[in-house]
């Protein structure tokens, strides 16, 4: 696919979405972001990118934006994404993620969108065991959050079969880090992701890190996760878009090896040169002990090659962002 296309990015003011927007803008594409800013930040949207403040729940806004076509593709990031919260408010997640996502897919079909990229999740694999997860692993979500994304993947399958709208489902395994040029980073209110929480504890900005369970069946008893740099995830979206010229695709986005919570803490201590106070707490409902993915299909079919493969390299970009932006984007 040639550069210079037009793309709509829902949730493009959020963490992963804003880095995908940067990747599109860097290669010369025209980008419009649709975001209600309930979780995202206007300052995360770079100059030259159009920001439409609006919710997917507002059908009139969605219709107005899609009517301003043609679009070379839609990248859909807007979603709720907390496993624990979904175990408390399951129907809220189905309405916000599945319901509004299907309405967006339907609107895209009606407006002639031919390419759709879904920000999916590793939470599709709720009971993965010890194996490294491939795209052929059984989809058995362990939480309503994972189920809400699984339903969207199925909807996209039928959107292709019946309407010919091709899609890429990209299943993330813990986005981490920040734009290496310092243009975007991670800023959630409240912050729930492990690496920024550990960094803030190292910098003395919060109390001890609470580890959700220390009795899992892992070498050190803490959960193991697969961390991928957020800019590498963004580059994968652009490569996946190119595949949609020929067919729909599904890719797992992982590093192939995981790190436990305690290993993340040790990495932050090495990179920052500071100790990280931490304590072991209770398990969090819905958390599997291990989530590690293979990305061989993505590498083989698209040539994707991560720039940041070592955990310390990922942590270093996150630390640089947190130190340079002690108040995040400063717009809350």
Q: Is the peptide bond before 242 cis (omega within 30 degrees of 0)?
A: no
pLDDT of residue 182: 96
pLDDT of residue 123: 87
Three-state DSSP at 6 gives strand
Single out the catalytic residue among 145, 172, 216, 251: 145
pLDDT of residue 273: 98
The answer to whether 289 and 218 have CB atoms below 8 angstroms apart is yes
**Active site annotation includes 15:** no
Rounded CA separation 329/153 (Å): 32
Rounded CA separation 31/5 (Å): 8
Scan for tokens 């290993």, then name that residue: 263
Mean pLDDT in residue range 267-291: 91
Q: What is the pTM of this model?
A: 0.94
Q: Supply the DSSP symbol for 173.
A: S
pLDDT of residue 85: 92
Sign of the CA dihedral running 41, 45, 51, 55: negative
pLDDT of residue 2: 42
What is the total residue count of the chain? 332
Alpha carbon 82 to its chain centroid, in Å, reads 11
- Percent of the chain surpassing pLDDT 70: 97
Task: Say yes or no to pLDDT of 3 above 60.
Answer: no
Rounded CA separation 18/39 (Å): 12
Three-state DSSP at 212 gives strand
pLDDT tens-place string over residues 180-229: 999 999 998 888 899 999 999 999 999 899 999 999 999 999 999 999 99
- Average pLDDT of the chain is 94
The answer to whether 156 and 105 have CB atoms below 8 angstroms apart is yes
SS percent in the chain: helix, strand, coil, step 5: 40, 20, 45
pLDDT tens-place string over residues 294-324: 899 999 999 999 999 999 999 999 999 999 9
Q: What are phi and psi of 30, to 5 degrees?
A: -90, 125
Structural domains for the chain: 6-176+227-254 (3.40.50.720)
Task: Say yes or no to pLDDT of 244 above 90.
Answer: yes
């Amino acid at each position: 696919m040639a550069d210079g296309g037009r793309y709509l990015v829902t949730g493009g003011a959020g963490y992963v979405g804003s880095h995908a927007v940067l990747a599109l803008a860097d290669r010369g594409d025209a980008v419009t972001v649709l975001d209600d800013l309930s979780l995202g930040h206007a300052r995360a949207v770079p100059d030259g990118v159009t920001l439409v403040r609006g919710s997917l729940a507002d059908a009139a806004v969605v219709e107005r934006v899609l009517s301003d076509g043609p679009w070379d593709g839609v990248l859909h990031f807007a979603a709720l994404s907390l496993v624990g919260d979904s175990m408390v408010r399951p129907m809220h997640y189905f309405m916000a993620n599945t319901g509004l996502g299907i309405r967006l897919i339907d609107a895209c079909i009606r407006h002639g969108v031919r390419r759709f990229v879904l920000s999916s999740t590793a939470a599709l694999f709720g009971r993965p065991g010890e194996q490294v997860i491939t795209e052929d692993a059984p989809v058995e979500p362990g939480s309503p959050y994972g189920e809400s994304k699984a339903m969207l993947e199925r909807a996209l399958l039928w959107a292709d079969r019946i309407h010919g709208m091709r899609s890429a489902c990209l299943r993330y395994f813990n986005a981490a880090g920040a734009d290496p040029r310092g243009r975007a980073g991670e800023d959630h209110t409240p912050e729930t992701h492990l690496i920024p929480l550990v960094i803030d504890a190292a910098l003395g900005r919060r109390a001890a890190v609470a580890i959700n369970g220390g009795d899992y069946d892992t070498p050190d008893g803490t959960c193991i996760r697969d961390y991928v740099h957020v800019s590498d995830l963004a580059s994968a979206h652009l490569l996946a878009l190119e595949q949609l010229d020929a067919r729909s695709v599904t890719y797992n986005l992982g590093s192939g090896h995981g790190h436990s919570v305690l290993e993340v803490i040790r990495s932050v201590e090495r990179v920052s040169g500071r100790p990280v106070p931490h304590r072991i707490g209770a398990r969090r409902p819905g958390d599997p002990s291990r989530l590690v993915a293979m990305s061989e299909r993505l590498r083989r079919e698209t040539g994707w090659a991560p720039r940041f493969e070592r955990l310390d390299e990922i942590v270093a970009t996150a630390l640089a962002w947190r130190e340079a932006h002690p108040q995040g984007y400063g717009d809350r």
